[in-house]
Amino acid sequence: MPALTRAEAETRARLIAVQHYTVDLDLTRGDEVFGSTTVIRFTALADGDTFVELKPAVLHGAVLDGRPLDPAALDDNRLPLTGLAAGPHELRVEADMRYSRTGEGMHRFTDPSDGETYLYTQLFLDDVQRVVAAFDQPDLKAVFEVAVTAPPAWTVLGNGVAERTGEAEGRWRVAATPPISTYLLAVAAGPWHSVRTEHAGLPFGLHCRRSLAPYLDADVEELFDITRRCFDRYHELFEEPYPFDSYDQAFVPEFNAGAMENPGLVTFRDEMVFRSAVTDTERQTRGMVIAHEMAHMWFGDLVTLRWWDDIWLNESFAEYMGYQVLSEATRFTGTWTDFAVARKGWGYDADQRPSTHPVAPAPEAVPDTASALLNFDGISYAKGASALRQLVTWLGRKDFLAGINEHFARHRFGNAALADFIDSLAGATDRDVHAWADRWLRTTGVDTLTPVPVDADGGWRLDVTQQGGRPHRISVAAYDRAGADPAQLVLRERFETDVPADGETPGTRPGTRPDLVLLNDQDLTYAKIRFDARSWDTLVAALRGLPDPLSRALVWNAARDLVREGELRPAAYLDVARTHLPYETDIAVVQGVLGFARGQIADRYLPADERPGALATLEALARDLLTREDPGLRLAAARELIAATADTGALRGWLTEDALPGGPALDPELRWQILTRLSVLGAASAEDIAAELASDPSATGQEGAARCRAALPDPEAKRDAWARMFDGDTLSNYLFTATAQGFWQPEQFDLVGEYVPRFFPAAVAVAARRGPALAEAAGRWAFPVPVVESSVLDLGEECLRTGDPAPTPALRRRLADQLDDLRRALRVRTGSA
């Protein structure tokens, strides 16, 4: 499907204005296709030629102003519209469109639990043309009116209130939208389990598959409470009221993203309807996603980017507001600790790869939709949100909100670019916002701040050395060790200071030099921090004595950076974790430290002969955490214990007894995790997997079984898993991912070695056949991550350099990032990072 270029979009936007889409979908034509009729009313602003996009299975007909067009003129996804005269026009297109099994376009899913079928759209960026004919670019907004014919027992959801019409059985109409971009059109249909309420005069709804109904019902009050509280908080912050007629949230199967901000119908991956026990941090994360998507109703839906170089205007804003509003409006007050642990490293890592880009790239850096898709990464989300948090710190919350509200007023139901947003902010303050934006949004890389505390006359002086070029407004905390407990730390003072881009020093403080100087203490800026020798020695002995979990998260992030950059031995990180993590009270911190320690240090950064010792350390650490009273900490510990242990007898016993000693009772998630570990270790059979699947035949159970089968240390099992991933196209996106997750295991190098050179051509082929979603899955999950060898690097570089055929853009980006991570792992192993 040819990518739309920026130049083409600009040309078309000068030629036409689009007023209205009338869409009629027939979802009763079988398992492979659905009917799609689109009528578009638009105005040609001058005489000229253009095209409309659609990707049909069969194009039955197209009529422009009563004149039939030749269906054979359709060139891939473009139908030419030639000889347009200035003035109004009407285009009618009738087609059969294909259902998707990869989460793009109209995704079709049949629930293995009960045989019920569900459909939903995911039309982001350029996939609307898989469902309807459209002038598919974000700055050609229009009103959408949608009608749907569905099986009689189904419910239809859309961007507005959807009602049965009485015209015919299974006939639905969705209320007309205000002007929205084409990528925001949304429809979901199926025998949904729905719970409805009303708030602020608007209908609110929650929807999921029927098989998940008991789990949704268990969390309905929490979900509605978060939704209402965030909705009300946004109305306190924003002068523009919620701009749509309803607010539905649908938890849908096999969803590629975390969620999608369709106006009036937000879709979430339905793993957020929790079937198994979760930690409170995971509930907080779900709440953040709810708040994030709601923020998009204003920033993204009401005011939309003009072109895809301004992705950050959507995602960075929603990311920042999601964490901030959730902390202000709900019981989840520790959101920024979770952000520091779960998101900040994502941004730092992305910003240190060759594929890095500015938060706001130059227009020429995003020449088409294919390149735009690559920028949905840790920079557009985590770094951009961090930049906005720094902007609020520097600008002041009052002026920041005034600028945002001015932006909404100026561009209501329209489109805007970076310059428009900065102009709105600049009108609310005397500060030079344009210069700030140039330094923060148009540059790449991570600054590094290092304290240099020295004794001085009348006090102590804090110098800060900076590697980078941005000004920072940071909080600094000074701690002293005190008392008989070697881990006791007492906060002496916390103060804010500016660190200019030229590295001028913050100045002199009263008293003696503290034992610990912690820069960026409240995580107000985006910068890596380092420690002077005395501060690091203090942390090694007393990290658990830091009273604030956000401060502890910052230290753990810094330690993680030190390992990745070869400044701290991986074994030393494990020693610090073994000493201090058993005392940790914040679940996000525990999950983040354990995840890095096992997923990176044990599985990648340490040589193979040191891995068993690292896993033994993590197993002991997990057993210590299992003694804690907090059920969330025990659950996190149980997961780590299962992943780290090689004691097959214990694993089998836990599965038989349906519980861990001192830990939680087993639920489906933990049972599948134990069975996966047994499969990896060669202590489970195909019969064991089949028996577990019979007990849990759900979609999640199907994924668990696929993961276990691929993990079996058996040549035939590996051949079968490989064939299902790369030789056939029947696996859904989720089953492909589960199979890939099971395939590569650090314990099975000898068994899977022959597949390493086969991976690159196989991934290139599957990405070309099955599109960006499977390209992402292949590059992320099917890459031989545990094989930390230079030969993998050589093969990958050869693929990117001379591959014939060349990798698709989505796969190329993912492979480039994987290879950069592999280079880093090799450097850490050899001590040359």
* Residue numbers annotated as active site: 293
Report the Cα 507 to chain-centroid distance in Å: 40
Report the Cα 794 to chain-centroid distance in Å: 30
Q: Where are the beta strands (DSSP E) in 344-485?
A: 415-416, 447-456, 459-467, 472-481
Give the CA radius of gyration of the chain.
27
Q: Are 546 and 489 in contact (CB under 8 A)?
A: yes
Q: Is 657 exposed, middle or buried (0-12, 13-18, 19+ CB in 10 A)?
A: exposed
User: How do 33-44 and 16-26 pair as beta strands?
Assistant: antiparallel
Question: In sequence order, what are the residues at sequence separation of 6 or more whose Cβ sits closer than 8 angstroms to the Cβ of residue 278?
Answer: 635
Helix 715-722 with 699-711: angle, nearest 10 deg: 130
What is the token pair recorded at 281? 């941090």
CA atoms within a 13 Å half-sphere pointing along the CA-CB vector of 311:
27
Report the Cα 480 to chain-centroid distance in Å: 39
Q: Are 356 and 445 in contact (CB under 8 A)?
A: yes
DSSP 261: -
DSSP 241: P
Question: In sequence order, what are the residues at sequence separation of 6 or more whose Cβ sits closer than 8 angstroms to the Cβ of residue 167?
Answer: none
Question: In sequence order, what are the residues at sequence separation of 6 or more whose Cβ sits closer than 8 angstroms to the Cβ of residue 507?
Answer: 461, 462, 497
According to DSSP H, which parts of 142-212 are helical?
A: none
Give the Cβ contact number of residue 145 at 10 Å.
Answer: 17
* Site of tokens 């422009």: 64
Give the Cβ contact number of residue 98 at 10 Å.
Answer: 17
Q: What is the 3-state secondary structure (H, E, C) of 48-112?
A: EEEEEECCCCEEEEEEECCEEECHHHCECCEEEEEEECCEEEEEEEEEEEECECCCCEEEEEECC
Amino acid at 605: Y
Question: In sequence order, what are the residues at sequence separation of 6 or more whose Cβ sits closer than 8 angstroms to the Cβ of residue 46?
Answer: 14, 15, 86
Euclidean distance between the first and the last CA atom of the chain, given in angstroms as a whole number: 41
Bridge partners of residue 298, in order along the sequence: none
d(CA 269, CA 255): 5
Q: Are 813 and 355 in contact (CB under 8 A)?
A: yes
